[in-house]
Structure 1
Amino acid sequence: MARDRDGLFSEKHYDDDAALVPSESESENGSESEEDVRDGDRDILDETEEHEKLLQKPSRLERARGAFGLRDGRQEGGSSGKRATKSTSRRSRKRGMSTPDKLEGGFTDSNSEDSFEIQAGKWEGKTSKKSHGGRLAMIYLAITGLFVALLFGAYKASSKKHKLAPTEHRLTRYNNGTHIFRPTTIFISLDGFRADFLNRNITPALNAFIASGVSPKYMLPSFPSVTFPNHFTLMTGLYPESHGVVSNQFWDPEFQEEFWYTNVSVSMQPKWWNAEPLWVTAEHQGVRSAIHMWPGSEAHIPDVEPTYMDKYNGTEALPRKVDSILRWLDMPGDDDVDAAAHEDLRPQFIAAYVPNVDADGHLYGPNSTEIRATIADVDSMLTMLVEGLLARNLTEIVNMVIVSDHGMATTSTSRLVQLDDLIDMSLVDHIDGWPLRGLRLKNPDRDISILYEALSEKAAESGNFNVYTLETMPERYHFTKNDRIAPLWIVPKTGWAVVEKSDFDVADALATGEEYAPKGLHGYDHEHPLMRAIFVARGPAFPHEPNSQLPIFQNIEVYNIMCDSLGIVPHPNNGTLRLPLKPQGLHSENDNPGSEVVADPVDDEEDGGEDTPAPDEDQDTSNPSTTDSPQSGDDSPTDTPPEGSAPSDTPQRDDASADPSPDKDNPPADVGDGQHRTSSSWWSFVHEQLEKAKEWAKEFVDSIKGNKEGEGEPPV
């Protein structure tokens, strides 16, 4: 029975062939054995608690207690610690081991089975922490990699969309002998300068620019071909429907207000100008801008003003414009030694607006003697500018881009459409545009389709105008996607105008012989030959052979070209043309800008103008074999060179070699002295021709200037 009570500890529970292990209890008395059993149970419980504690992450409070030698609210070495030491010693004696050194957190004897289990628990805890930290590190690395990939993708996308080209020019600085110039561009707009005005033998400066630079036969404006929309297109690269200035006057249904270009208190509010102009693009990228009278420059377009700005002054003398440009060029630059001491530093982008040709074209007509004098006067202004650049040794350092915004057509009392005879004016709520008319109706849902049908029939009968809704508007106009565009339009044929009786009674005028004014108009189909504009460029950003001919393009392309010439990134726009430009050969003597004869509309009874246009304004004028015959009363000098002649074919001044050529300031090795360079003889030739033309132009202008009236009229 006694052996039965031994239970699992008795020998009979082992196999017969199992080796017998002597029990220590047999060598000790019974009382000691019972104490060992009780103590053993307590030891097992204590050891289990220790294992659980080791497998759990200690709280901040427990770590703080451990730092001060506390365990379970008791200081280490108390009764609990003694009991643990005692039980441990007993177990050690049972296994024949010495008492190990005690360290914080458990036992460290690697030979002890208990110590191994405790260390395993500690290792598992450390491994868990390390594994958790590793996962976090991998997550951080993945996020970082994704962010870098997104940045790289954005960079690649932006570099494709806004490539800075050409890099050589963008990194190049030039030295004129006294100062260092960063990329600098002068941008001049000759409002209303029709492309074929170049063919009147009164523009030696412009013709010299063409002969030395790069230009298309003409540049197309945007529709409608009026001043404010096209000047903002030149500065943004956007169609009028995209930048919001859709005409010189229009109604905004959201503002419930009218934009009228001559009402400066209204039109020069920034809310009308919904795009970023070039001067804002430049200022954002650290390129100073100086704007002289450009339409819209006074509108405080967000979110930065041009560094320098001259307000519009229609009576300003042309030489003062030259003085403004040269004054800005004479300012110290960023790279000058004493630049920090100057408050005003040189701009790199200079834009100047010249309204004279447009103003006199409206007042006298595009074929008048007065407009010829104005054209010659403007060309003389360019002569003075060239001489100013030559005196500063800047002719091969600054870029010059000369453009116009549209052309001009002759009007007549016999070419008027009386709007009151076409529709019931009581149906109309508001009229936009001029000379074309955009109609906003009081009940558009009911009346637009009815009026469209009726007006279309009358247009087919007369042949003097076209009628469009936003759905039928020609796609090439890009003139539908804006709420500021009226839903119904009457677009007159070139040379015609649509008028209301309250402004001009056509029947009475025809009966009394009253003449319609203005005598010149634009705003028509932007692709009509009489609406063609000009583009001429020359300078280090245009490294082309002199007299290079570009393919014909629309003025939405100018913004990108200007940005590239300055080395700045364009804002998103409708243009696609970028530097370097790709000429398609050279202009020939009979196929250069302005050489094509353009038929101007005339009355049935010709009024004796100096030009003899073809009788039908819609005739085909694309035949390049047709040339302009000498005009009556042409007092141009006989030594003016033929338009388009290359500089190498022209006489040179004796002192041409004395003209120093500018040096670059530490240019990159791969930026040569430049295929864009022409010899100083070209500028010597220009100077010689301009000197000869200047006196003639002055006398010619002075002889008729007394007959000119209306100076200072606002541009249209």
Structure 2
Amino acid sequence: MSNHGRVGFHRPPPADVSDDSASDSDNEDLMRETRTSTDIRQLDRKILETEEEAEELLTNKEKDRRLQGLFARKDGPSSGVKLTKRERRRYQREAQRKGKKHPKEEEESELMYDMEEGHKDSSDSAASSDIDRLRLKELPQPVQGRSSRLWKLTAIHIVIVIAFVGLLLGAYKASRTHKSEVRPQSDTLTNGSSIFAPTTILISLDGFRADFLHRNITPSLSAFVQTGVSPEYMSPSFPSVTFPNHFTLVTGLYPEAHGVVGNSFWDPELKEDFFYTDPARSMQPKWWNGEPIWVTAEEQDVRAAIHMWPGSEAHIGIEPTFVDKYKGHELLANKVDRILGLLDLPGPFDKGASSDAPRPQLIAAYVPDVDRDGHLYGPNSTEIRSTISSVDTMLGQLFSGLEQRNLTDIVNIVIVSDHGMATTSTSRLVQLDDIIDMSVIERTDGWPLYGLRPKDESDIEPLYNKLKQEAASMSGFDVYLRDRDMPERYHFSQNDRIAPLWVIPWTGWAIVVKEEFNVEEAKKSGQVYHPRGVHGYDHEHPLMRAIFVARGPAFPHTPGSKVDVFQNIEVYNLVCDSVGVVPKPNNGTLRLPLKPIGLHDFMPPSDMPEDMPEDPPSSESSDQPTSIAQTTASNGTSTEVVETTSLLTQVSRPMIIATDAPVPTRPVIHDDVSQEDEDNNGKDTNLWWDWVMGKLDGAKDWATGLYDTVSDKISGAATESGNNE
């Protein structure tokens, strides 16, 4: 037993691996010879117990290591090193050699320490040193792998965070950019009794020429200019006639883009004619290819009310909340009552607001009076001065109504016109059938300019050459082919509804055919050409200039501010911005806020030419006012009549645009005084009847309002009584 004990605690000097193996073999032989069977069984039992405990410890340790590896990096240099089967056997042999001297608890403690720490001191044995060397060789690989995985995971998380932050910044920047481009007016305002979302009134004065503001007959509109912002004038679009330009005003599109290329035209695809005087045909959505502002507004939950605006009855997309059908001679006072009545409706923030008929944020109203009387009597007649004054009175009543409601600084007002007007004369007519054979022409489009569609397309070139030759030798017109030399600034070529060949009169001239007006016979008899006023010429000619004046919270500029001249394709964007809606793509580029270039001096424009001279009164029309051969110029506070001179010596040959004559397709010619008197009598009768109907409509509205009020009170009283019970 003493020998066994010596063997168990023998510690040989350090040696290489081969010596250690030989020593182990000798010790094992000696131990087998000196042990009894009982010792061997006890030793075997201890070995089995030791193996089971070691296996259990290894299993638990491996589980702990894996769990720790998921959440934290271990501090020990040997973490993650797994013992091989050979190493475990060597540990067991060492435990056997120590078993005689050390108690079981110390043996288990040493074994657990070796398992936990993965090494023993190098002085213990050569086997321990060998294990240390093996572990040191294996150690960097798993540690380096965990570090690499950790950095990969960290890098992935960093990339994800950077990408997410980038998306957030991109979305924020895009939203800021969008807002800066649109710049909508979105703040609500109150007049003390009601809350108003951004609200704009758009009023079109058909045929109101820009220089009409300088005739000392528009005190209300002139005062409005002094408190608002405006250019010196606004240019219409080509052709400068009512229907194309009114649709341009509310779409921001050139006529070639929105498809209403004239007051009358032929569509070769539909094989149908468009006549602006025939609502059954013209008020169909197939003719109107742009999206008007009332559709844009309604799609974005901004309610719209449209009063007689050309095209508003065509059922284009979403219907506006309110639509008033066209009435040719509606009293101006009724228009004021209608607009103010719409503003008096409860808004969405008010008690009693109706979801079916709420207060609109966009009100667009059309006033045809100046255009109508300009055609009948001419732009320099006494009658047109009276009409302009009446329209100005209407505007004054509207401004007063807004002031009474404390809405002057709450509601935006934008006043525009669609074109100007020029005086006609029998001496400025071109007899078209004296130049070309009209029998080869299948149809003509427009007026006063002529779009020609020959029966045979092969005749287009010969007709063009003939007309071009005559235009070079005589005054009054120019000739263009749609697909060859139509001026680019007209934007009048990219649509099949535009005829292939055009005869365009100079400003103040007109194209006629003999079946409508025989020029030679009229000159002999002294017959006066009608209409007395015409538009539809070159949209950049001074006599075709329109107006744009705006005031309100969307136009926070110094009173009387002046901006650069612009074309009417810009109006759509500006009105959209004023009520906070996003406009559809269009040809305009101007956005709010406007950028003034100074203040108006309120003097007549220096480049404004005098109007064309009119025909002298003839014996057959002696009751025509003599003032139509004159123009009125302002001089301080007084008004003097100045003789005019012909524009032919002052203005270069202009490009022309269509016009809207007060007749289906061509102007009505008044052959005698009795016919004109009859027209005037009919007009007076219509005015009286419209006045009566207007009063009846007003009484109906009053009765309806009274009924609704009484019904609400009765309903409220019944509800209160029920609650008390």
Counterpart amino acid of residue 194 in structure 2: H
Aligned-residue offset at 1:415: 2.9
Deviates more, 1:348-357 or 1:108-117: 108-117
Cα gap change, 1:145/1:214 in structure 2, threshold over 3 Å: closer, same or farther? closer
From 601, 604, 629, give the equivalent of 1:612.
Answer: 629
Deviations 1:316-363 (A, max 9, x none): 222221111011110112333x25676532222211101122122223
Q: Which residue does the alignment assign to 1:221?
A: 236
CA distance in 2, matches of 1:518, 1:146: 66
Report SS of the residue matched to 1:610: helix
Taking the TM superposition and a 5 Å limit, the aligned residue runs for 1:303-702 are: 304-336=318-350, 338=351, 343-425=356-438, 427-441=440-454, 444=457, 446-469=458-481, 470-501=483-514, 503-507=516-520, 515-573=528-586, 574-576=588-590, 578-588=592-602, 591-592=603-604, 596=608, 598-603=610-615, 609-613=626-630, 614-620=644-650
Aligned-residue offset at 1:569: 4.0
Structure 2 residue runs without a partner (length 5+) = 1-15, 34-39, 41-50, 63-84, 97-106, 110-114, 120-130, 631-643, 653-678, 688-725
Taking the TM superposition and a 5 Å limit, the aligned residue runs for 1:170-209 are: 170=185, 172-209=187-224
CA distance in 2, matches of 1:451, 1:27: 133
The structure richer in helix per residue is 2
Cα gap change, 1:495/1:16 in structure 2, threshold over 3 Å: closer, same or farther? closer
Counterpart amino acid of residue 629 in structure 2: T
Cα gap change, 1:581/1:567 in structure 2, threshold over 3 Å: closer, same or farther? farther
Aligned-residue offset at 1:532: 1.7
Cα gap change, 1:539/1:619 in structure 2, threshold over 3 Å: closer, same or farther? farther
Counterpart amino acid of residue 390 in structure 1: E
Counterpart amino acid of residue 320 in structure 2: P
Aligned-residue offset at 1:173: 4.1
CA distance in 1, matches of 2:273, 2:540: 28
Report SS of the residue matched to 2:647: coil
Counterpart amino acid of residue 468 in structure 1: Y
CA distance in 2, matches of 1:259, 1:193: 25
CA distance in 1, matches of 2:17, 2:591: 99
CA distance in 1, matches of 2:28, 2:461: 117
> For the Cα contact (< 8 Å) 2:617–2:626, is it kept in 1?
no
Taking the TM superposition and a 5 Å limit, the aligned residue runs for 1:21-420 are: 21-23=23-25, 93-94=92-93, 96=95, 111=118, 137=157, 140-141=160-161, 144-145=164-165, 147-148=167-168, 150-152=170-172, 154-155=174-175, 157-159=177-179, 161-164=181-184, 170=185, 172-302=187-317, 304-336=318-350, 338=351, 343-420=356-433
Cα gap change, 1:373/1:707 in structure 2, threshold over 3 Å: closer, same or farther? farther
Counterpart amino acid of residue 418 in structure 1: Q
Cα gap change, 1:334/1:511 in structure 2, threshold over 3 Å: closer, same or farther? same
> For the Cα contact (< 8 Å) 2:424–2:612, is it kept in 1?
no
> For the Cα contact (< 8 Å) 2:577–2:591, is it kept in 1?
no
Aligned-residue offset at 1:441: 4.3
Aligned-residue offset at 1:226: 0.4
The structure with the larger Rg is 2
> For the Cα contact (< 8 Å) 2:182–2:591, is it kept in 1?
no
Deviations 1:89-123 (A, max 9, x none): 978635649899xxxxxxx9664989999999999
Report SS of the residue matched to 2:598: coil
CA distance in 1, matches of 2:454, 2:354: 61
Cα gap change, 1:15/1:123 in structure 2, threshold over 3 Å: closer, same or farther? closer
CA distance in 2, matches of 1:429, 1:144: 66
> For the Cα contact (< 8 Å) 1:179–1:333, is it kept in 2?
yes
CA distance in 2, matches of 1:597, 1:15: 120
Report SS of the residue matched to 2:338: helix
Report SS of the residue matched to 1:22: helix
CA distance in 2, matches of 1:567, 1:229: 26
> For the Cα contact (< 8 Å) 1:199–1:594, is it kept in 2?
no
> For the Cα contact (< 8 Å) 2:276–2:282, is it kept in 1?
yes
Cα gap change, 1:156/1:251 in structure 2, threshold over 3 Å: closer, same or farther? farther
Structure 1 residue runs without a partner (length 5+) = 1-13, 33-42, 55-85, 101-107, 165-169, 623-703
The number of residue pairs the alignment matches comes to: 562
> For the Cα contact (< 8 Å) 1:598–1:621, is it kept in 2?
no
Counterpart amino acid of residue 612 in structure 1: A
CA distance in 1, matches of 2:448, 2:343: 40
Q: Which residue does the alignment assign to 2:66?
A: none
Cα gap change, 1:378/1:16 in structure 2, threshold over 3 Å: closer, same or farther? closer
Aligned-residue offset at 1:190: 0.9
Aligned-residue offset at 1:235: 1.6
Aligned-residue offset at 1:186: 1.6
CA distance in 2, matches of 1:451, 1:271: 32
Aligned-residue offset at 1:436: 0.9
Aligned-residue offset at 1:131: 7.7
Counterpart amino acid of residue 598 in structure 1: E
> For the Cα contact (< 8 Å) 1:410–1:520, is it kept in 2?
yes
Cα gap change, 1:18/1:212 in structure 2, threshold over 3 Å: closer, same or farther? closer
Residue identity over aligned pairs, in percent, reads 52
CA distance in 2, matches of 1:276, 1:26: 107
Aligned-residue offset at 1:262: 2.7
Cα gap change, 1:241/1:387 in structure 2, threshold over 3 Å: closer, same or farther? same
Cα gap change, 1:397/1:314 in structure 2, threshold over 3 Å: closer, same or farther? same
> For the Cα contact (< 8 Å) 2:477–2:503, is it kept in 1?
yes
Counterpart amino acid of residue 385 in structure 2: R
CA distance in 1, matches of 2:505, 2:18: 124
Cα gap change, 1:142/1:217 in structure 2, threshold over 3 Å: closer, same or farther? closer
Aligned-residue offset at 1:18: 8.0
Cα gap change, 1:253/1:343 in structure 2, threshold over 3 Å: closer, same or farther? closer
> For the Cα contact (< 8 Å) 1:370–1:708, is it kept in 2?
no
RMSD: 4.7
Cα gap change, 1:25/1:271 in structure 2, threshold over 3 Å: closer, same or farther? farther
Aligned-residue offset at 1:125: 10
Q: Which residue does the alignment assign to 2:104?
A: none
Query: Whose RCO is larger (CA < 8 A, sep 6+)?
Result: 1
> For the Cα contact (< 8 Å) 2:379–2:628, is it kept in 1?
no
CA distance in 2, matches of 1:592, 1:176: 37
Report SS of the residue matched to 1:527: coil
Q: TM-score when scaled to structure 2?
A: 0.65
CA distance in 2, matches of 1:234, 1:341: 30
Report SS of the residue matched to 2:537: coil
Counterpart amino acid of residue 452 in structure 1: Y
> For the Cα contact (< 8 Å) 1:530–1:600, is it kept in 2?
no
CA distance in 2, matches of 1:499, 1:95: 128
Cα gap change, 1:266/1:27 in structure 2, threshold over 3 Å: closer, same or farther? farther
CA distance in 1, matches of 2:31, 2:444: 122
